[in-house]
Structure 1
Amino acid sequence: MTTLLSVQDLAVARGLRTLEGVSFALAEGQAIILRGPNGLGKTTLLRTLAGLQPVAAGQVVHEPSALAYAGHADGLKSALSVTENLRFWAGVFGRTEVGPAIERMNLSNLAARPAHMLSAGQKRRLGLARLLVTGRKVWLLDEPTVSLDTQSVALFAGVLRDHLGAGGAALIATHIDLGLPEGRILDLTPFRADPARKAPRGDGPVGFNEAFA
């Protein structure tokens, strides 16, 4: 299997270092589930891998244009319809086709509805549908099932399994069992950094929209 993402002795920080010594490899068809207590640094790790903040130490290797990150925010333009939002994001990634994503995330009956008229769960499904228009192989997902009901969680789990079956991969911070036979657990607790260790100068929040990259 081809390795799509390799992480070696990685340290990440937001202010002070939060994690250090993190190493793993993610190959085609694989998913890694990130676990650990709130505030440990799961979101910081995902943001760092997505390029939204600098690496504090270590190495991250992946194919160019391999990663798509979906964070807590849905990243929607409220005045645009479901279809228009997806066309916008498809264009960002140099693509045009959005119909399959609308159908796969059960949004067909909402295709013409403005985003501001969607429920929280519908907005989340639309936010996750953006992954399907990126063409990216590696999905970095931060609590992707927030606001989803049980039926929608199962729907997204099916989408995720299809992505893995097509040779994609996923790194997921979640406490929800998505029923992924291809998934393995990575507990980040042993990688908690010494709180006395300071981050290198220049580390800190990045000033642009980090809902999706």
Structure 2
Amino acid sequence: MRLIVENLACRRSGRRIFSGLSFTVGRGEGLMVTGRNGAGKSTLLTMLAGRLKPDGGSIRAEGIGEASLPECLHVIGHRDGLKSALTAEENLGFARDLLGNPAAHPKAALEALGLPHVARLPVGYLSAGQRRRVALARLLVCRRPLWLLDEPTAALDLASQGVLAGLMKHHRSEGGLVIAATHQALGLEDARELRIEPSPPPSRPDEALQAEEWL
């Protein structure tokens, strides 16, 4: 798989978030998306996932046959996306069934994240770091070539960050792609950096445009 982004632009509520973003991520590569809060890191990942339409530019993938890009990726965002009343194993089982990989084993995924002892506990009883690791375990219950990770180390201790670094390294060694929005080093060896600079304050014409869009 190869992801190609050309001249991507985003405008929300009449305000330009970013424009002119171009990059390519190929087999076994990693890309760290950096920048200040509000620069558009999470917005970029949302666009790559197909949840937000770009204001300009293009996103395309090569080497995926007849599949669509959203079918070829995993997203781990700020929210863990877990059902508090379900156990860790049940949450992963739901993800496995939804993603269509009946051969995957939730227990094995939990073991890989160092959580075999919480398999039958409702995730509502888990700590923030444990919940984050359960969310990351979804990456292992169904193989997808592209991982989109938004601040994946949030709430993780140093040992768990090392486990995550190992998972990303293994994924890339098998030809997978990793794009991560981050404020800190992730252990992504040889990863390139895409820094998004905040857009300048709006000019008078942009302010007028925003007012017209709200009418």
Task: Please identify, of 62-71 and 161-170, the stretch whose mean Cα deviation from structure 2 is larger.
Answer: 62-71
| Residues in 2 aligned to 1:147 and 1:70: alpha-carbon distance in whole angstroms | 13
Q: Is the 8 A contact 2:87 2:121 kept in 1?
A: yes
Structure 2 matches for 1:1-213, cutoff 5 A?
2-3=1-2, 5-15=3-13, 16-62=15-61, 63=64, 64=68, 65-96=71-102, 97=104, 98-189=106-197, 192=199, 195-196=202-203, 197=206
> Would the alpha carbon gap of residues 109 and 52 (structure 1) be closer, same or farther in structure 2, given more than 3 Å must change?
same
Q: Is the 8 A contact 1:18 1:40 kept in 2?
A: yes
- Structure 1 residue 194: deviation in Å? 7.0
- Structure 1 residue 155: deviation in Å? 0.9
SS at match of 2:22: strand
Q: Is the 8 A contact 1:17 1:194 kept in 2?
A: no
Q: How many percent of aligned residue pairs carry the same amino acid? A: 40
- Structure 1 residue 55: deviation in Å? 1.3
TM-score (normalised: structure 1): 0.87
In structure 1, list runs of 5 or more residues that go unmatched: 203-213
SS at match of 2:47: helix
Q: Tell me the equivalent position of 1:205.
A: none
RMSD of aligned Cα (Å): 1.9
- Structure 1 residue 53: deviation in Å? 1.3
Q: Whose helix fraction is larger, Structure 1's or Structure 2's?
A: 2
Q: Is the 8 A contact 2:107 2:119 kept in 1?
A: no
User: For the pair shown, which has the larger CA radius of gyration, 1 or 2?
Assistant: 2
| Residues in 1 aligned to 2:140 and 2:56: alpha-carbon distance in whole angstroms | 32
SS at match of 1:74: coil
| Residues in 2 aligned to 1:11 and 1:46: alpha-carbon distance in whole angstroms | 13
> Would the alpha carbon gap of residues 94 and 195 (structure 1) be closer, same or farther in structure 2, given more than 3 Å must change?
farther
In structure 2, list runs of 5 or more residues that go unmatched: none
> Which amino acid counterpart does residue 13 of structure 1 have in structure 2?
R
- Structure 1 residue 195: deviation in Å? 3.4
- Structure 1 residue 128: deviation in Å? 0.9
Q: Which runs of 4+ in 1 moved over 4 A?
A: 196-199
Q: Is the 8 A contact 2:6 2:57 kept in 1?
A: yes
> Would the alpha carbon gap of residues 29 and 53 (structure 1) be closer, same or farther in structure 2, given more than 3 Å must change?
same
- Structure 1 residue 179: deviation in Å? 2.1
Q: Is the 8 A contact 1:14 1:44 kept in 2?
A: no
